[in-house]
Amino acid sequence: MRCDFADSLLQGYFDGELSGRRAAEFERHLQHCVDCAVELVDLDLLSGRLQVAQLYEAAPASLRKKIRADLHPVAPTTAMSQPLLWHWLAAAAALLLLAIAGWRVSPSLRTDDYQAELAEEIVDAHVHSLQPGHLTSISSNDEKDVKGWFRGKLTFALPVLDFANHGFALQGGRLDVVEERSIAVLVYAGPKHLVNVFMWPTRERDASPRVGSRQGYQWIDWRKDKIEFCVVSDAPTADLQQLQRLFTR
Amino acid sequence: MNDLGPEDRLRFEQLVLPHVDNAYNLARWLLRSRADAEDVAQEALLRACRFFRGFHGGDARAWLLQIVRNTCYTWLEKNRPMELSVEFDEELHLQTCPTPETIAIAGDDRERLTRALETLPPRFREVLILRELEGCSYKEIAAITSIPIGTVMSSLSRARRQLYSALANSSQGACP
């Protein structure tokens, strides 16, 4: 049995849209209407489910690109007015500065210390992911599903590959935040262990794999085609090397 | 989009472009297709740009979403007119058998919610998306959808009930 109030006041009360007087009126009603009290909890559960499922879909990069192209048609230089030209010049100068700064700083950043710090953060993220409910945001062994879930969330083309035939079955993926940037993570079930593969875009050259371990977890880090990879697991290093080879073949 | 002078264009970029995600998200849920959403959202942005001079301050997100919504409905009328006339059909919904694929993904609540939402008629789907995903107030929903505030409340109520019912059906699997 649904109460007469269920279609009107109840919704407004739940959404916080009633005036103080009407909210008080509804609360008086709520004291002796079990149906409304139950439905209020149901509404809250449903709303929570919708939030947790992360249904919001951000605009893909391709759409932003098209809109930018619409706004700034080709050959704007001749027609460009002074203020806009200044914007461009300022942006170009800023980029140049960034490039110089990056060139001077990045070699020193890439020291073993940096590597150790990064590995520490990534191992932490791995450990965190093993807690119940944190492993995957999209759980599927279908490459297309997983790729589809990442669409619009990343600024680079993520290689989503299932290696079930080679003993590493794709379990799904999620987004993590490491060092204040979001990082794509693919999850695999290895022969005996779960493996997280962290991936993020890099501007640096390809680099061959480096192996390390921390707190009983092994990691291998490498760069290929402007993507940095880091696989982490408590599996033996040999297993991780096998997965690393599958990614780089 | 060249009609705008440099000043207006800058203002458009500052006021309207931050809401491209909202525009795409609404189009994606109204059209139930990412590819169509991308096209229609782009078209809506073009329209917004063309009529930007008529926008005199106020809530730029609500203004843009109103244009996105109207562009979506125009598109649906032209390309999928059936969808606008179909009411939520519980009978039809009960008949859908779980395929191996739907069983495999049944564990994924996101997938289940997506499917359930997509069975709702557009007019109910849109109020849910605006309320639950965009966090719009009743007043904003009324402005975007051009329906009276009182109707927002009852539409939300019906939309939520239909979503329950669609979710219940999807987990039952009403086939022999």
* CATH number of the domain within which A226 lies: 3.30.200.100
Domain span at residue B23 reads: 1-85
- CA dist., res. B162 & res. B81, Å (int): 21
Decide if A199 contacts A227 (C-beta within 8 A): yes
Kindly state whether residues B78 and B98 are assigned to the same domain: no
Residue whose structure tokens are 């009403």: B174
Work out the pLDDT band at A193, boundaries 50, 70, 90.
Answer: confident
Secondary structure (3-state) at B116? helix
Q: Identify whether the C-beta of residue A244 lies closer than 8 Å to the C-beta of residue A209.
A: yes
Give residue A21's domain range.
Answer: 4-52
In whole angstroms, give the CA distance from residue A11 to residue A5.
9
**List of E strands, chain A:** 138-139, 169-178, 181-189, 194-201, 207-214, 217-224, 227-233
Contact A57 B163 (CB under 8 A): no
Q: Concatenated DSSP letters for B67-100? A: HHHHHHHHHHHHH-HHHHHPPP-HHHHHHPPPPH
Q: What is the value of ipTM here, to two decimals? A: 0.80
pLDDT band, very low/low/confident/very high, at A189 (cuts 50, 70, 90): very high
Do residues B79 and B146 both lie within one domain?
A: no
- A95 or B161: which leads in pLDDT: B161
For residues B30 and A116, what is the distance between their CA atoms, to the nearest angstrom?
A: 47
Domain boundary among B50, B67, B85: B85
Distance from CA of B80 to the nearest CA of A (A): 22
The tokens describing A154, both together, are 């990343």
Whether the CB of B110 is below 8 Å from some CB of chain A: the reply is yes
- Round to whole Å and give the CA distance between A186 and A200: 11
Domains in chain A, number = 2
Closest by alpha carbon to B2, among A80, A123, A120?
A80
- Tens-level pLDDT at each residue, chain B (176 residues): 446 788 888 889 889 999 999 999 999 999 999 999 999 999 999 999 988 888 877 889 999 999 999 999 999 999 988 888 766 554 444 444 445 454 444 457 888 899 999 999 999 999 999 999 999 999 999 999 998 988 899 999 999 999 999 988 776 554 44
Last residue of a domain, one of B44, B65, B85: B85
Q: What is the CATH number of the domain that holds B115?
A: 1.10.10.10
Considering the domain architecture, whether residues B97 and B40 belong to the same structural domain is answered as: no
Interface test with B, best of A13, A15, A35, A38 (most B CBs within 10 A): A15
Question: Do both B95 and B175 map to the same domain?
Answer: yes
Question: How many domains, in total, are found in chain B?
Answer: 2
In this structure, the number of other CB atoms found within 10 A of the CB of residue A174 comes to: 21
Question: Under an 8 A CB cutoff, do A17 and B113 touch?
Answer: no
CATH number of the domain to which B72 belongs: 1.10.1740.10
Rounded Cα–Cα distance for residues A215 and B136 (Å): 46
Residue B50 and residue B111 share a domain: no
